[in-house]
């Protein structure tokens, strides 16, 4: 009952959403890793390892050890990219949608899902991750509350990505039945990505979601979205705040934040690599 009340609060919380007017640019420039590798060193670091790219804005006494908790080599990132590129029998596509857990497809391959406030950039992030498979239809919108169902996207036989409806402003009525049940019951769920907007940082509704993930004891990761939009000072402030919170106040959260821009593709290659890794598709030498 407590959980239901909490999910209702989550669904209804008015989070002072900012309406972002930026429109999705469909260019896939810099989406392919071989193109990114041609960038000069400083830009390469910022695009591929955004946290490390931000280090120059930090005070010298800030401990950045956790910025490298997941620290793949460029060859690992390259190997992961192959999973996100359709070829021959390797098909990447939308699979199905569900508004209730008993309508969710029975899939045994590993799964990861994306949750966060409405408009935070969940669908855009999935679209960016799939930029090498441009035929995959991922719907994004500047109107909050656009995604109404759990949308399942299959990456061949390797794993599934699930785009969730947002919580907070304009969340769907049945949000609680859908998302709470999914998070609690989905056996093949390997990681939940909780997205936070870099312009506003943690909001009340995010803390309710974190409380729920902690209570369910499922592993999750923070992703900081829209890093192209936030002024550097604000970006750094939110990065440090979230890193600190993940390290000191959570049990189930991975201690490294993943900042991304789905417009400029910053952090996208690293996140592809992390997903490949947590779904068991990319054993790594140093992990
Ligand atoms: N500048 C910028 N805008 C972004 C980025 N990611 C998303 N947006 C914009 O933010 C708005 C919302 O994006 P969506 O991906 O639809 O957000 P969502 O979290 O799926 O929203 P709901 O489905 O409503 O919960 C759109 O106008 C996107 O173009 C980003 O990295 N940078
Ligand atoms: Mg969406």
Indicate which CATH number applies to the domain containing 119. 3.40.50.300
Nearest ligand (C-alpha, residue 146)? 1
Q: Is 279 in the pocket of ligand 1 (CB under 6 A)?
A: no
Number of domains the chain contains: 1
Query: For atom 7 of ligand 1, which residue has the closest CA?
Result: 121
38 inside domain: no
The pLDDT of residue 6: 57
Q: Is 122 in the pocket of ligand 1 (CB under 6 A)?
A: yes
Least reliable range by pLDDT among 42-46, 114-118, 229-233, 254-258: 42-46
Residue with the two structure tokens 């390290």: 247
Residue 60, C-beta contacts closer than 8 angstroms, at least 6 positions apart: none
Q: Is 146 in the pocket of ligand 1 (CB under 6 A)?
A: yes
The predicted model scores a pTM of 0.91
Q: 284 alpha carbon to ligand 1 midpoint, in Å?
A: 32
| Best mutation site among 10, 22, 230 for ligand 1 pocket (most ligand atoms within 8 Å of CB) | 22
In whole angstroms, give the CA distance from residue 165 to residue 172.
7
253 inside domain: yes
13 inside domain: no
Nearest ligand (C-alpha, residue 20)? 1
Nearest ligand (C-alpha, residue 224)? 1
CA dihedral 249, 233, 145, 193 (to 10 degrees): -40
Tens-digit pLDDT profile for residues 146-185: 999 999 999 999 999 999 999 988 877 788 888 999 999 9
Q: Which domain range does residue 120 map to?
A: 2-8+43-278
Mean pLDDT of 1-12: 55
**Which stretches within 113-251 are classed as H helix?**
122-129, 175, 181-185, 204-216, 232-249
The pLDDT-based confidence of 29 (bands split at 50, 70, 90) is low
Using alpha carbons, list the distances in angstroms from residue 175 to 114, 142, 147.
14, 20, 11
Tens-digit pLDDT profile for residues 50-74: 999 999 999 999 999 999 999 999 9
Q: What percent helix, strand, coil does the chain show, rounded to 5?
A: 40, 15, 45
The pLDDT of residue 25: 35
Q: Record the tokens describing residue 96, joined without a space.
A: 């199905």
| Best mutation site among 15, 17, 131, 140 for ligand 1 pocket (most ligand atoms within 8 Å of CB) | 140
Pair 221, 258: CB distance under 8 Å: yes
Query: For atom 23 of ligand 1, which residue has the closest CA?
Result: 147
């Amino acid at each position: 009952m407590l959980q239901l009340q909490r999910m209702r609060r989550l669904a209804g919380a008015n989070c002072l959403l900012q309406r972002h007017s930026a429109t999705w640019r469909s260019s896939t420039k810099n989406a392919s890793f071989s193109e990114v590798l041609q960038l000069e060193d400083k830009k390469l670091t910022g695009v591929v390892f955004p946290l490390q790219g931000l280090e120059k804005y930090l005070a010298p006494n800030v401990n950045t050890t956790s910025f490298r908790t997941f620290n793949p080599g460029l060859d690992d990132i390259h190997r992961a990219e192959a999973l996100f590129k359709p070829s021959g029998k390797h098909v990447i596509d939308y699979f199905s949608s569900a508004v209730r857990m008993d309508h969710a497809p029975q899939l045994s391959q590993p799964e990861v899902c994306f949750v966060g406030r409405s408009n935070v950039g969940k669908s855009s992030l999935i679209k960016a991750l799939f930029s090498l498979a441009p035929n995959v239809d991922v719907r994004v919108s500047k109107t909050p509350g656009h995604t109404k169902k759990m949308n399942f996207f299959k990456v061949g036989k390797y794993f599934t990505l699930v785009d969730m409806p947002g919580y907070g402003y304009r969340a769907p009525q049945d949000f609680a039945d859908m998302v709470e049940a999914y998070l609690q019951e989905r056996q093949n769920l390997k990681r939940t990505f909780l997205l936070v907007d870099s312009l506003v940082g943690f909001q009340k509704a995010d803390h309710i979601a974190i409380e729920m993930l902690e209570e369910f004891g499922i592993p999750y990761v923070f992703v900081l979205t829209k890093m192209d939009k936030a002024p550097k000072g604000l970006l750094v402030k939110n990065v440090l705040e979230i890193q600190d919170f993940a390290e000191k106040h959570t049990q189930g959260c991975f201690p490294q934040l993943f900042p991304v821009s789905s417009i400029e593709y910053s952090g996208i290659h690293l996140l592809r690599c992390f997903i490949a890794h947590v779904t068991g598709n990319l054993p790594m030498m140093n992990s």
